[in-house]
Amino acid sequence: NAGVTQTPKFQVLKTGQSMTLQCAQDMNHNSMYWYRQDPGMGLRLIYYSASEGTTDKGEVPNGYNVSRLNKREFSLRLESAAPSQTSVYFCASSTGGGGSYEQYFGPGTRLTVT
Amino acid sequence: DQQVKQNSPSLSVQEGRISILNCDYTNSMFDYFLWYKKYPAEGPTFLISISSIKDKNEDGRFTVFLNKSAKHLSLHIVPSQPGDSAVYFCAATKYGNKLVFGAGTILRVKS
């Protein structure tokens, strides 16, 4: 039982390049989330998927797209990377209801855009 | 507009003593609150939570207190251990679909 896994762990991009961050969970959770963490800012929600087949914008969605590929997988795409997207990205999942709101996080992807 | 605020960027405590981490929120619609702990180069891990219908929840050395009238919650760690040194985030949600996080407090427990 691996929980939430993310690939890659580290990535360096040049401005304008594109990439996809991958996330998978094996806890049969309905909801999945993408966050970014910047110094002094806490974790900010980029996009989330309340259930398979749905996605919604979070607090900071500009410059990103997401795909909920199936119940297990939720990917985040940067179409044209910018230095402002240098950050640590976390994927998380949760049951999505039933009075239990805890989210479980992956280990993160550290992205640098030069 | 920060809806969840952790006004202390850092806290230093002696091993064995109590650590108190504080969190304030502005949105009265929040009905569930959580604390997460994060070590360097790892993802946040869930620590403890509390529903707005309660004012206290305990789990071993960790206790969370909620004061709804003051829109304030706190996490007490007793006794503090060196392994508790980490960044602590409080988070809040209404209806459970999205968490709003504070900026975090770095806790250092000195041995």
Q: Calculate mean pLDDT across residues A1-12.
A: 94
> Looking at beta carbons, which residues of chain A come within 8 Å of B44?
43, 90, 105
The token pair at B87 is: 């960044």
Q: Specify whether the CB–CB gap between B21 and B8 falls below 8 A.
A: yes
Residue A96 pLDDT: 75
DSSP of B54-70: -SEEEETTEEEEEETTT
CB pair distance less than 8 Å for A102 and B102? no
Q: Specify whether the CB–CB gap between B102 and B18 falls below 8 A.
A: no
pLDDT band for position B13 (cuts 50, 70, 90):
very high
CB pair distance less than 8 Å for B99 and A45? yes
Alpha helices in B58-109 (DSSP H): none
Q: What share of chain A in percent tops pLDDT 70?
A: 97
Look-up of token digits 């500009």: A62
Q: What is the pLDDT of residues A85-100, one digit of tens each?
A: 999 999 999 987 666 7
Q: Specify whether the CB–CB gap between B3 and B26 falls below 8 A.
A: yes
A8: which residues sit within 8 A by CB, 6+ positions away? A21, A109
> How many helices and strands (H and E) does chain A possess?
0, 11
> Looking at beta carbons, which residues of chain A come within 8 Å of B4?
42
> Looking at beta carbons, which residues of chain A come within 8 Å of B37?
none
Number of Cβ within a 10 Å radius of residue A42: 22
Q: What share of chain B in percent tops pLDDT 70?
A: 99
Position with higher pLDDT, A101 vs B67: B67
pLDDT at position A2 over 90? no
Q: How far is CA A94 from CA A7, A46, B29, in A?
A: 19, 16, 21
pLDDT band for position A60 (cuts 50, 70, 90):
very high
Residue A39 pLDDT: 85
Number of Cβ within a 10 Å radius of residue A113: 19
* Stretch among A95-99, B31-35, B46-50 having the lowest mean pLDDT: A95-99
pLDDT at position A101 over 90? no
How much is the mean pLDDT over chain A? 94
CB pair distance less than 8 Å for B96 and A96? yes
Residue A98 pLDDT: 65
